[in-house]
Amino acid sequence: MISRSTIDRVFETARVEEVIGEFVQLKKAGSNFKGLSPFVDEKSPSFVVSPVKQIWKDFSTGKGGNAISFLMEHEHYTYPEAIKWLAKKYNIEIEETEQSSEEKAQMNERESMFLVSTFAKDYFHDIMLNSNKGKAIGLSYFKERGFTENTIKTFELGYCLDEWDGFTNAALAKGYDLKYLASTGVTIVKENRQFDRFKGRVMFPIHSMSGRILGFGGRILTADKKAAKYLNSPESDIYHKSKILYGLFQAKKEIAKQDNCYLVEGYTDVISFHQSGVENVVASSGTALSSDQIRLVNRLTKNITVLFDGDAAGMRASIRGIDIILEQGMNVKVVQFPDGEDPDSFAKSHSSAELKDYLEDAAQDFINFKVSLLLKDSDNDPIKKAGVIRDIVVSISKIPDGIQREVYVQECARIMEVSERVLFSELAQIIKKGEQEKSKANRQQNRAQQDPNQPPTEYFIEQEQAQMGLVKGGSSTEKIDEISKFEREIIKILLLHGNEITEFIEEIENEDEQGKVVVTARKYDNNVSAEIYVHLQDDETEFTNIVFQEIYTEIIHQLNQSEKLEIDALVNHKNADISTTVTSILMDEEKYQLSDWEGQNIEVKLASLSKQVNDVVFNLRRVLIGKKIEELIKEASAEVSIDLEMIKGYTGLRISLFEKLNRVV
């Protein structure tokens, strides 16, 4: 486990603008930097980095945090991986602390598998480059495929000797446990025998997005018809084929830069493209495309181009993946290579410029591609043609964006010479049916998750009724939203001004000799956080939003400990909900900078700090009192009369708050 002192040094040393600058093009904007969001496709910058606060905020997605959270979001690192990446960048030596036996048990299994996989990758690579058999067989194969030394090094290709247990014996001699050699699949254990799974195969290590070795693909070099041409690692705790894209580690930066990802099928397709200068390419490794794989790409770009070879049968099997891509809100294009060509062979037989030109010129939208492919089998049969049209409309229904759906319907109507009205009608039916099925599934899931010993809250009852068409909306939902708004504002004031001292005014009510109420004002200085704390304590107020309550508790704990609020401790909090929410609130004011209000001579005027505090506290109190009055009225029944005195008292308090807020009831 990484020591606390190492983590602290990383946080002290790392500069968020330097870290993010390696992945996002940033431009100076006042005291901050801004750039295009690395998470969505956009033309106007919505991504802001604050060197002063050492945080970032992506206003297009709502994501935000510090340097660590950026690496976890953008590079898909785990927390320890992000710390290690930063430590390496800033030349910080990583100190490890002794773990408890329970912690070791939790960590050792996966970590041991990663260690074994890394050793195997290094062993296969070294054997191929430095042993006589490795060079004569493995290296010569890759050389014949046209792969350069730099390409071989980039993808860490290797070779497993054609011996029953050469690798296994080498690993055992180095002290690696047979248990993990078996669980990663590099060694097959049967009874008292163990032998190498990838015996006599050239090796393609499969990396995670952060570069860790998850598994291997091995290609046989002999003409043995009984053996599979390609053999992959078995499923394990670290290797899940449906959640991995080969080459993503090497391609991720270029995918983000080019704002497009090419999707191919095989390892050599990826490597040949990469060597030809098209580096934004990944492979599904021959598996059926999954939503998990598409989500990996979706983090880097919204645009994906699927590359098919000239094999029609293979295309029909793979074309089903297009609907999965559309469901994720991605923009899909398709490139088909000439008969007899695949991405690997085409890249080898054409120059880099010719390959790039072909990819650009041959790209077509999925409708044109589906039509050209499926109509070949229709033989001008009206029934089959109707089936093709319905198949295309089903694909269009997967698109989340309504405008895109309409454009594609119009395109389909034009190509297929069918009325738009008919297609829109069919589309509406498909979408309606899908929504009904989804709504039914959600209700069933909610009921299944509901604690049978606890009644559902009023809010969720209303939501359930609304889904069944019994009610439309409800004041309780609006109240919850309003309460949350004021709770958020309180947290914002505490974060931005909690340590400041300002002048407050207290209104004191007394009766004069004639019995009239006389209000006098008393001025006093107080710490903002202390003032808010006193108000909330007097009202015994607890936040309805769980995250806001956790942040408030952390703030009060800090103030009790050191009488000072440490924002960095909240930004870097181990609870991701706290860290993300705090970052989001701190970056609210940067919205003005994105809109360039100052450049347009638009002045943003804020009330005095004391007025901000009083207004938000009084408003929260006002809404809570209103909610209490509603609850009292709802609790009344034929058997229980309304407590008019209590309601009258609450109403009086509410009117008083309105007066203090200078609002008319």
Asked whether residue 152 falls in the same domain as residue 197, the answer is: yes
Is a pLDDT exceeding 60 seen at residue 2?
yes
**What is the CATH number for 10?**
3.90.580.10
- The answer to whether residue 438 sits within a structural domain is no
Instruction: Clarify whether residues 168 and 309 are in a common domain.
Output: no
Q: Domain boundary residue among 192, 211, 239? A: 239
The total of structural domains in the chain comes to 4
Residue-wise pLDDT for 274-290, tens only, equals 999 999 999 987 678 88
- Residue 583 pLDDT: 87
Share of the chain above pLDDT 90, in %: 32
HEC assignment per residue over 209-231: CCCCEEEEEEEECCCCCCCCCEE
Question: How far is it, in rounded angstroms, from Cα 75 to Cα 82?
Answer: 9
CB 566 within 8 A of CB 645: no
Other beta carbons within 10 Å of 421: 9
- The pLDDT of residue 134: 97
Tokens encoding 325: 């891509």
Give domain status of residue 152, yes or no: yes
**226 and 203 within one domain:** yes
Last residue within a domain, chosen from 390, 405, 426? 426
Structure confidence at residue 477 (pLDDT): 52
**Is the confidence at residue 447, as pLDDT, over 60?**
no
Which pLDDT belongs to residue 269? 95
Task: Find the mean pLDDT for residues 38-59.
Answer: 85
Kindly report, residue by residue over 310-345, the tens digit of the pLDDT. Answer: 665 566 666 778 988 998 888 999 999 988 899 999
Band (pLDDT 50/70/90 cuts) for residue 536 is confident
Same domain for 230 and 259, yes or no, is no
pLDDT at 157: 98
Give a yes or no: residue 459 inside a domain: no
The highest-confidence range among 37-51, 149-163, 308-322, 622-636, by mean pLDDT, is 149-163
Among residues 298, 303, 108, 123, the alpha carbon closest in space to that of 198 is found at 123
C-alpha–C-alpha distance, residues 325 and 309, integer Å: 19
Shared domain check, 279 and 181:
no
pLDDT over 70 for what percent of the chain?
80
Alpha-carbon distance 81 to 87, whole Å? 10
Q: Is residue 324 part of a domain?
A: yes
pLDDT computed for residue 317 by the predictor: 60
| Six token digits for residue 140 | 């010569």
Please identify which residue in the block is written with the tokens 């609304």: 466
Give the domain range for residue 532.
478-660
Residue 180 falls within a domain, yes or no? yes
Mutual angle of helices 267-275 and 248-258, in 10-degree steps: 50
Q: 527 — alpha (psi -120 to 50), left (phi > 0) or beta?
A: beta
- How far apart (Å, rounded) are the C-alpha atoms in residues 235 and 124? 20
Residues 108-161 pLDDT 10s: 788 899 999 999 999 999 999 999 999 999 999 999 999 999 999 999 999 999
Question: Do residue 505 and residue 649 come from a single domain?
Answer: yes
Is residue 473 pLDDT above 60, yes or no? no
The whole-number pLDDT of residue 236 equals 93
Of 105-109, 452-456, 550-554, 630-634, which gets the smallest average pLDDT?
A: 452-456
One domain, residues 199 and 74: no
Which has the higher per-residue pLDDT, 4 or 578?
A: 578
Residue 456 has pLDDT above 50, yes or no: no
Of 314-318, 407-411, 451-455, which range is least confident?
A: 451-455
CATH number at residue 399: 3.40.1360.10
Q: Which residues pair with 476 in a beta bridge?
A: none
Mean pLDDT of 427-447: 75
Is 396 in the same domain as 273?
A: yes
**Reported confidence tier of residue 244, pLDDT bands at 50, 70, 90:** very high
| Mean pLDDT to the nearest integer, 58-68 | 86
State which of 55, 89, 123 marks the end of a domain.
89
Local confidence band at 654 (pLDDT 50, 70, 90 cut-offs): low
pLDDT for the residue numbered 281: 97
Please check whether residue 224 is in contact with residue 195, taking contact to mean a CB–CB distance below 8 angstroms.
no
pLDDT top residue among 656 and 230: 230
What is the chain's mean pLDDT, rounded? Answer: 82
- The CATH number assigned to the domain holding 162 equals 3.90.980.10
pLDDT class for 651, splitting at 50, 70, 90? Answer: low
Do both 65 and 110 map to the same domain?
A: no
Counted residue by residue, the chain has a size of 665
Are 402 and 288 in a shared domain?
Answer: yes
**First vs last Cα of the chain: how many Å apart?**
59
Per-residue pLDDT tens digits for 501-533: 888 887 776 776 776 767 777 788 888 888 888
Q: 201-207 and 364-365 as β-strands: parallel, antiparallel, unpaired?
A: unpaired
Binning pLDDT at 50, 70 and 90, where does residue 377 land?
low
pLDDT band at 640 (very low <50, low <70, confident <90, very high): low
Same domain (yes/no): 553, 635: yes
pLDDT at residue 568, as a whole number: 82
Is it the case that residue 657 has pLDDT exceeding 70?
no
- Strand order of the β-sheet with 55-58 is 27-29, 32-35, 47-50, 55-58, 64-65
> Hey, is 524 helix, strand or coil?
strand
Cα 272 → chain centroid: 30
Better-scored residue on pLDDT, 174 or 368: 174
pLDDT at 99: 57
Q: Which residue has the higher pLDDT, 162 or 40?
A: 162
Per-residue pLDDT, 384: 84
pLDDT score recorded for residue 354: 96
Tell me, yes or no, whether 441 lies in a domain.
no
Instruction: Answer yes or no: is pLDDT of 572 > 70.
Output: yes
Q: What pLDDT, on the 0 to 100 scale, is given for residue 207?
A: 94
Higher-confidence residue of 663 and 277: namely 277
